[in-house]
Structure 1
């Protein structure tokens, strides 16, 4: 099957992060089995979701460092979006293929699977590894379990390529992220006696102002990395919930914020500064009532990507794509985790544009799939002739 046909099969599986991806993984596993390729599933604790890992190449080839191709199988939900087409049925209009996950990122997985027969038939001198994950959309959670297993392998990959949509540009950097939930516990009382209470919303507002000041400082003073569209670390408060009635001093307020950091800054350092300030406020609150508290919990975190080594190898891969453009991306991926866990060069390169991702009537252009198909054909040839640097 070609990549468009396979994409139609993959789109038909609703793999929203809140749901299981096992039906899709079993389909991929059976597809690989039909081409005599063994694979293994790495499950979550509940056995409702799984990563899939497979290696292609002879035993001799697998003694050499090869290329790992990775993609996530989960998608964002369609609820609340105004779709004009069926989200889980691939439809075509001209050069566009519509459906949830076409761009982010089942298009890449479809191209990889379409190339599997050629991979299996090739006399690879270096192996190809396939690594498909779950729960990327909710914090890159699932891939960590697979990386624990991969870090124990005797031969590390030469390069990890994560196929998120970049219009087939080879991207070597993206921002890291830390998201945190802050719970402020005060003391309630009748609003007519407000000084006898501890207003949790007021203290939460001070935390929000601190975050906003830190965000503005970076916007005005940097540090800057002009390879990004937004060339500085961003700090953003996303939700605030607190209080129960106008005439009650609120004893509870919760806020959620995130830090998206460039390589020159450490998000954990910023988070620690926030915690230090929160501790000062907490001490003020506890002078009134010792049960008052400010608790900060990390919800999700993943490292940024800054692949500055292996320039010769990255340049070679760029020639295989037929796209000599470079640059950074503003969204996060699993690439930083591959880089951190396996200690090998990692890049982001895949068909489609994130401008279409997460939106109603998500689509990918067939020309993008074709470009990815050609890249994979060139990659198979490079691994068969062992012309990759390194």
Structure 2
């Protein structure tokens, strides 16, 4: 992706983060908010901090009530609460199961200039820096509102962001610009792929393996479907379309989970598998899934010819739209200005930014740390990256204050 020019106004990163940013990051990491768990203890801790600063938090629960989003607004100097800039992050983290950690992943430790713990990079340091910086944001009048958004279940399909956006729309709150603080080493990212997750369930007919003609093998039909998905992946890999701004410059697909069968001498009655595909901007995810649905319909007809009680069904698990570089580009230009990085980059992982963009919020991804450390054992973030995030927040506060002063008559 071609880099664009921006005026660098951000202050160079200091050697270490503030005590407040580090303390808040450590506190957030200490909550085990693995996506399978509740995040309510963390949400209420953050809400209490907002309340202590005179900010009214909005807690938006999940449909089940065991998780929640958190949203808050610092109004503009004239009381305006719509429009403005939104800083957004997710509160959940991926599991540590099966990983060999050198320390307790939920007891953060500073070692050799790095903060270790699950979620340090992805992405609690961004939230910790914001909470530590609250007094500075509150110390000056703002030209336009500043919003804070924290979501649940980003790691398993961005479900929380969907619920939050619906609530904001119902309240008439519509931020103008969004910054999603996923780890980008504080470099502005204007594009990422979509992420589409599905589960396929094949229901066959069990039988003894010596009598295969009386049964229907669910594993065999699942395998045929998996082979078709792989053929689509190969087609995109070989024939494109291509977008060279991505490290992997084409649409990808992957079958990541397969489960089925009871015994080697039994015709498999059931087989489930889960797959995902990630489209580059310009490739319609609906067109990809339509081809998979057509193939499944053909296989369904064949399996029901063997036995009408057999079936194949597919259900969506999560749909995250891609982030497109097309649009107003106000967020990109502001991020370039605030970070001092005159670049425009893309990433292969998906974020909530695509959902915010789809909702009409001009959004880029820009946050501390590197995804090279995200999701790994001994996940860590360089302390200098937390400090760089604070410099970004300081530049944002100065931008809002300066804009407010220069727009006065």
Return the structure number with greater relative CO, CA threshold 8 A, min gap 6. 2
Is 1:96 aligned to 2:137, yes or no?
no
Where do residues 21-100 of structure 1 align in structure 2 (5 Å cutoff)? 21-58=39-76, 60-62=78-80, 65-100=83-118
Of 354, 364, 367, the match for 1:336: 354
1:384–1:59 distance in 2 versus 1, CA, 3 Å? closer
Q: Tell me the equivalent position of 1:381.
A: 398
Kindly report which structure 2 residues correspond to 1:199-278, keeping only aligned pairs within 5 A, or say none.
Answer: 199-278=217-296
- Which of 364, 372, 377 lines up with 1:360 in the alignment? 377
Uncovered stretches (5+) of structure 2, i.e. residues with no partner: 1-18
Q: Compare 300-309 and 107-116 and name the one that shifted more.
A: 300-309
Residue 148 of structure 2: SS of its match in structure 1? strand
- Secondary structure of the equivalent of 2:222? helix
Deviation digits for residues 349-386 of structure 1 (CA, Å, limit 9, x no counterpart): 00000110111111001111111101111101111122
- Alignment partner of 2:300 out of 282, 304, 308: 282
Going from structure 1 to structure 2, the CA distance change for 1:294 and 1:131 (only over 3 Å counts) comes to same
1:158 match? 176
Alpha carbons 2:304, 2:311 under 8 Å: kept: yes
- Per-residue displacement from partner, 1:180-203 (whole Å, max 9, x unpaired)? 111112222222222333222111
TM-score by length of 2: 0.91
1:118 counterpart (136, 144, 168): 136
Alpha-carbon shift at residue 240 of structure 1 (Å): 1.7
Contact 2:206 2:215 in 1 (8 A): yes
Q: Give distance in 2, aligned partners of 1:17 and 1:145.
A: 16
Q: Distance in 1 between matches of 2:331 and 2:36?
A: 38
Does structure 1 retain, via aligned residues, the 8 Å contact 2:143–2:404?
no
Deviations 1:169-228 (A, max 9, x none): 111111111111111122222222223332221111111111111111110000111111
Tell me if structure 1 keeps the 8 A contact 2:329–2:362: no
Change (3 A) 1:272 1:377: same
Alignment coverage as a number of residue pairs: 389
1:109 paired with 2:163, answer no
The alpha carbon displacement at 1:316 in A equals: 2.8
Shift of 1:59: 6.1
Q: Give the whole-Å Cα distance in 2 for the aligned partners of 1:190 and 1:340.
A: 52
Distance, in Å, in 2 between the alignment partners of 1:63 and 1:23 is: 27
Q: Deviation at 1:94?
A: 2.0
Deviates more, 1:60-69 or 1:274-283: 60-69
The worse-fitting range, judged by mean Cα deviation, of 302-311 and 371-380 is 302-311
TM-score (norm: length of structure 1): 0.95
Structure 1: runs of 5+ lacking an equivalent: none
Secondary structure of 1:13's aligned partner: coil
- Work out whether residues 61 and 125 of structure 1, in 8 Å CA contact, stay in contact via their aligned partners in 2: no
Shift of 1:314: 1.8
Contact 1:57-1:120 within 8 A present in 2 as well: no
Q: Is the 8 A contact 1:71 1:105 kept in 2?
A: yes
Q: 1:338: Cα distance to partner?
A: 1.0
Give the superposition deviation at 1:313: 4.5
Q: CA deviation at 1:252?
A: 1.6
